[in-house]
């Protein structure tokens, strides 16, 4: 991440004495669709601050350095454990329902019912999908269900599950016996990897401050849920008014490459990636954007590669690649559809001229 930021906006030579008010800051207004991985970028930076403190540092709102032991507070770690258990039980709940809808049976009926009742009861009580209090004893029920052959078969083809029963990419990391046994042990400590893979929707807008070497960066993380995106003009205009001398401002648009063949929840006739295009176009129509740089982060390349590799093994899958990416693939590749790297390049290729007026626009695929 540091190399990319240095390439697009190299820091000014450090001064011997620098007043906080004169601090040079690279500011990012980070936006994108829900579950694209925006907040994961922030969590990864926080983890780097713990693991590589000489190069990465985190700061509070007054640009006072946050001690390593306080980067993730005890309260946050408790919340992460709760969120991860919620992520896991929701994923298994979805696996149970998808397996049943596909007409398959399993023998872990009692465990499955306890999981279903827990999630359904939380919904009735208005707790939602992220605020359930899941006891450690539920780990045994989750393992019993996941060990069922029909459930395991559904998990293997999770990318074919209905959108309603979709499993978050990060949660897939937790759906194995080793991880569940550890995460449902109240005495086990969470790792930075656990934190990065946890999923909790961002609401409103949050500010984060870091330094990478001598460069200071500030990230404004805006929620990507539809209820949050309607606030985009208000949030963005407020962010622009906070511009100061010495600031360099960028819109950091995050989108998931893995959504290239995923139907949009609100409009199934288009893909979730095409929905991202619409949101980006809306952003670029904002007058205030014209004086900002633009970076596009195509996230989840690993999931994209996994999906494309699986699709290439069958004629039906190759047709699916051509259906969604054919317009942007070269003729030779379109005819064979046997190159994952070519599909990767195709999904990155803009289908419209996204450069807004005189804005400095750069396209990057990795952070």
Eight-class DSSP state of 29: E
Is 301 marked within a binding site? yes
Burial of 338 (0-12, 13-18, 19+ CB in 10 A): exposed
Kindly tell me the sign of the dihedral angle through the C-alpha atoms of 346, 6, 58, 209: negative
Tokens representing 305 are 């590669």
Kindly give the interhelix angle for 301-311 and 315-325, rounded to the nearest 10 degrees: 130
User: For the chain, how many residues are written?
Assistant: 367
State how far the Cα of 55 lies from the Cα of 47, in Å rounded to an integer. Answer: 12
Which of 1, 8, 3, 9 shows the shortest CA–CA distance to 43?
1
State how far the Cα of 89 lies from the Cα of 136, in Å rounded to an integer. Answer: 12
Tokens representing 282 are 């809306």
CB neighbour list of residue 126: distance below 8 Å, 6 or more residues apart: none
Is 221 marked within a binding site? yes
Cβ 95 vs Cβ 154: under 8 Å: yes
Is 1 marked within a binding site? no
Eight-class DSSP state of 264: P
State how far the Cα of 34 lies from the Cα of 25, in Å rounded to an integer. Answer: 27
State how far the Cα of 5 lies from the Cα of 251, in Å rounded to an integer. Answer: 13
Is 128 marked within a binding site? no
State how far the Cα of 94 lies from the Cα of 90, in Å rounded to an integer. Answer: 6
Is 37 marked within a binding site? no
How crowded is the C-beta side of 174, counted as CA atoms within 13 Å?
32
Is 159 marked within a binding site? no
Is 65 marked within a binding site? no
State how far the Cα of 289 lies from the Cα of 95, in Å rounded to an integer. Answer: 42
Is 132 marked within a binding site? no
Which of 6, 76, 3, 5 shows the shortest CA–CA distance to 46?
76
**Residue 312 — φ and ψ, nearest 5°?**
-70, -10
Tokens representing 116 are 């279903």
State how far the Cα of 114 lies from the Cα of 107, in Å rounded to an integer. Answer: 14
Is 101 marked within a binding site? no
Binding residues for GTP: 221-225, 299-302
Binding residues: 39, 202, 221-225, 299-302
Binding residues for Mg(2+): 39, 202
């Amino acid at each position: 991440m540091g190399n990319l930021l240095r390439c697009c906006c190299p820091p000014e030579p450090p001064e011997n004495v620098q007043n906080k008010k004169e601090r040079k800051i690279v500011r990012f207004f980070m936006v994108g669709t829900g579950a694209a991985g925006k907040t994961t970028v922030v969590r990864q930076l926080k983890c780097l601050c713990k693991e590589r403190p000489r190069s990465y540092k985190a700061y509070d709102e007054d640009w006072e350095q946050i001690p390593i032991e306080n980067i993730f507070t005890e309260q946050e770690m408790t919340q992460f454990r709760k969120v991860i258990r919620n992520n896991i039980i929701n994923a298994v709940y979805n696996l149970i329902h998808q397996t049943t809808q596909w007409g398959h049976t399993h023998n872990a009926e009692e465990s499955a019912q306890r999981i279903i009742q827990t999630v359904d009861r939380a919904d009735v009580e208005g707790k939602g999908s992220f605020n359930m209090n899941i006891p450690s004893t539920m780990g045994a029920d989750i393992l019993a269900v996941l060990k069922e052959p029909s459930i395991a078969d559904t998990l293997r083809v999770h990318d074919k599950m209905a959108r309603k029963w979709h499993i978050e990419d990060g949660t897939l990391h937790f759906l194995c016996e080793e991880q569940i046994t550890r995460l449902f042990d109240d005495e086990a400590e969470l790792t930075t990897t656990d934190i990065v893979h946890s999923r909790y929707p961002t609401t409103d807008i949050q500010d984060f401050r870091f330094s990478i070497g001598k460069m200071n960066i500030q990230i404004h993380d805006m929620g990507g849920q539809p209820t949050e995106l309607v606030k985009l003009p208000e949030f963005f205009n407020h962010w622009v008014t906070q511009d100061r001398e010495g600031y360099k401002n960028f819109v950091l648009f995050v989108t998931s490459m893995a959504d290239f063949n995923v139907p949009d929840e609100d409009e199934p006739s288009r893909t979730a990636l095409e929905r991202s295009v619409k949101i980006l176009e809306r952003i670029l129509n904002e007058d205030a954007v014209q004086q900002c740089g633009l970076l596009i982060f195509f996230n989840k390349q690993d999931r994209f590669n996994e999906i494309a590799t699986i699709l290439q093994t069958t004629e039906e899958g190759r047709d699916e690649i051509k259906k969604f990416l054919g317009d942007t693939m070269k003729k030779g590749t379109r005819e064979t559809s046997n190159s994952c790297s070519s599909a990767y390049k195709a999904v990155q290729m803009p289908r419209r001229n996204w450069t807004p007026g005189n804005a400095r626009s750069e396209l990057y695929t990795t952070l």
